[in-house]
Chain A
Amino acid sequence: GAGVSQSPSNKVTEKGKDVELRCDPISGHTALYWYRQSLGQGLEFLIYFQGNSAPDKSGLPSDRFSAERTGGSVSTLTIQRTQQEDSAVYLCASSSHWTEGYTFGSGTRLTVV
């Protein structure tokens, strides 16, 4: 596609429910990144996929968070048993090479009520 596509753009969920956030990177981009931006907070790293290598999961805040990337393309970020502190904008980005800048998606705004 022309850019990084994220869905849904907005998600309101009840506390305790599971949610899945989707990211379609630019075709051919081998690197995919998830970040989140909480209200009043800066951006923080969540997880990074590079090709077929094991992902860097060191930014995931708890074991309620998980992510997978199927076929080296689409990625899904899953948050189980959502809490109010999970409310944030979840951003996905991709790049073709480690020397290249990143292309960001428009984000998914998650609100846990």
Chain B
Amino acid sequence: KNEVEQSPQNLTAQEGEFITINCSYSVGISALHWLQQHPGGGIVSLFMLSSGKKKHGRLIATINIQEKHSSLHITASHPRDSAVYICAVRERGGSQGNLIFGKGTKLSVKP
């Protein structure tokens, strides 16, 4: 069993829809990252959080440490949001860089 599980693996949405991507993990963590990988391969760090909720523009990330679960929400989705979204965790006691990655959720937003 993977230590970081994402769902769904693939997601197709219509422009304007509210989107939720889920991440569950099985280890104790000190931080969780959400990353965005565009079709060209470039990776952008969206959020790093250890508790609660963060918001940036149309993106919202939440984490529930007790339930070992995080969600990434996209409001008013747009075709330019089409990308692979990757969840990664830093295991508690591990080094800052030693992240465990999920396999990603491929999002396609249709106009």
Contact = CB atoms under 8 A, between A and B. Distances in A.
Interface of A: 31, 33, 35, 42-45, 47-50, 56, 58-59, 89, 91, 93, 98-104, 106-107
Contacts of B42: 104, 106-107
The size bracket of the interface on B is: 20 to 34
Nearest to B42: A106
A45 B33 contact: no
B93 interface: no
B48 A99 contact: yes
Given A101-B33, A102-B33, A45 B45 contact: no
B98 A101 contact: no
Interface stretch (B21-29, B66-74, B100-108): B100-108
B43 A104 contact: yes
A101 B45 contact: yes
B72 to A, nearest CB: 14
Interface of B: 33, 35, 41-48, 86, 88, 95-104
A35 B45 CA distance: 14
Residue among A33, A49, A56, A102 facing the most chain B CB atoms (10 A cut-off)? A102
A31 B102 contact: no
B60 to A, nearest CB: 16
A45 B102 contact: no
Given A101-B33, A107-B41, A33 B97 contact: yes
B15 to A, nearest CB: 27
B41 A48 contact: no
Contact of A58 (B44, B98, B100, B104): B98
Contact of A43 (B45, B48, B101): B101
Nearest to A102: B45
A43 B86 contact: yes
Nearest to B48: A101
B44 A104 contact: yes
B8 to A, nearest CB: 16
